[in-house]
Amino acid sequence: MDWGMENRMARIIKPDTGRTVMLALDHGYFLGPTHRIEEPRKTIEPLLPYADTIMLTRGVLRTSVDPKSITNVVLRVSGGVSIIGPSLSDEGLTTSLKDAIRLNVAGIGISVFVGTDHERQTLLNLAELVNLGEDYGIPVLGITAVGKELEKRDARFLSLCCRICAELGTHIVKTYYCEDFEKVTNGCPAPIVIAGGPKLETEVDVLEMTYNAIEQGAVGVDMGRNIWQNDHPVAMIRAIRSVVHEGFKPKQAHELFKSIKAEQPKKVASV
Ligand code: 5RP
């Protein structure tokens, strides 16, 4: 691996633990002002010190993150669709590599939609992005989106998606946690991070999902709603960090969550 690529990978996956807590903040690119991230700066600022990497679009980065903050950015560079449009899978590339480099990113992210009418288009977008990423030493995060088709969230489908991403040269693959998750990690030679998905009922559910994903071979999370839709997002991200980086069990991490929650006022970005 060339120096630039290796250095950027180390900015995403921390070399001391081999793991990462990525904070996903890109939801607005197709959902608009999503609950609790209506005003991105208010949501992002308190969480920044605890995220190894933030994942978002260039628009929110430029408007809502202080360029003097010490943070690593994985830039979402795919989009062009909306939740009310005809097809969420009909994505194209939205951001040039030149702009990504200008923004000093650690990585670039793109969704693929395997099993949809736009499978070929989105996989070729990914392959093209990997070509560009290799040219400039920028790792590519391949996002296996399932969107509305959550019933496809099983090991057979997700291992297919993840393996295809890895075969196309993706440097890090993002997917969902599912039953028999080892089948997904074992079949994917690239490192895997999990998305959180819609907000789960309890904090313990989120911590257990994170713990199980790590135990079964994930290198970390790229999580959004289960952190910043929690009434105590700082306590939540710190509890997630304890599982990912410090080997805390879900119960221990939940104790940590409760102790941080007790110290801090309820933080709600907007209601
Ligand atoms: C959408 C994305 C989101 O970043 C991803 O879903 C992670 O966020 P959450 O944990 O809220 O699911 O890539 O395609």
Active-site residues: which are they? 174
State residue 271's pLDDT score: 35
Which residue reads 């996903």 in tokens?
A: 24
Indicate the top mutation candidate among 37, 108, 225 to test ligand 1's pocket, ranked by most ligand atoms within 8 A of CB. 225
d(CA 37, CA 251): 28
State residue 178's pLDDT score: 96
**Ligand 1 atom index nearest CA of 111:** 14
Q: How far is the CA of 20 from the centre of ligand 1 (A)?
A: 15
**Ligand 1 pocket check for 76: Cβ under 6 Å:** no
Residue 14 carries which DSSP code? Answer: B
Q: Mean pLDDT in runs of 10 for the chain (271 residues)?
A: 96 98 98 97 98 98 96 97 95 98 98 95 98 98 78 88 98 97 98 97 98 98 98 98 98 98 70 35
**Ligand 1 atom index nearest CA of 222:** 7
**Ligand 1 pocket check for 196: Cβ under 6 Å:** yes
d(CA 226, CA 176): 13
Q: Regarding beta strands 53-56 and 92-93, do their DSSP bridges make them parallel or antiparallel, or are they unpaired?
A: unpaired
**Ligand 1 atom index nearest CA of 145:** 14
**Ligand 1 pocket check for 225: Cβ under 6 Å:** yes
Q: How far is the CA of 36 from the centre of ligand 1 (A)?
A: 14
Domains of the chain listed by start with CATH number: 3-191 (3.20.20.70)
| Atom 13, ligand 1: residue with shortest CA distance | 143
| Atom 1, ligand 1: residue with shortest CA distance | 27
d(CA 219, CA 115): 26
**Ligand 1 pocket check for 217: Cβ under 6 Å:** no
Axis crossing angle, helix 203-215 with helix 250-263, rounded to the nearest 10: 140
Q: Could you give the 3-state DSSP secondary structure of residue 72? A: coil
Q: Is 153 exposed, middle or buried (0-12, 13-18, 19+ CB in 10 A)?
A: middle
**Ligand 1 pocket check for 220: Cβ under 6 Å:** no
Host H or E run for residue 22 = strand 20-24
State residue 270's pLDDT score: 45
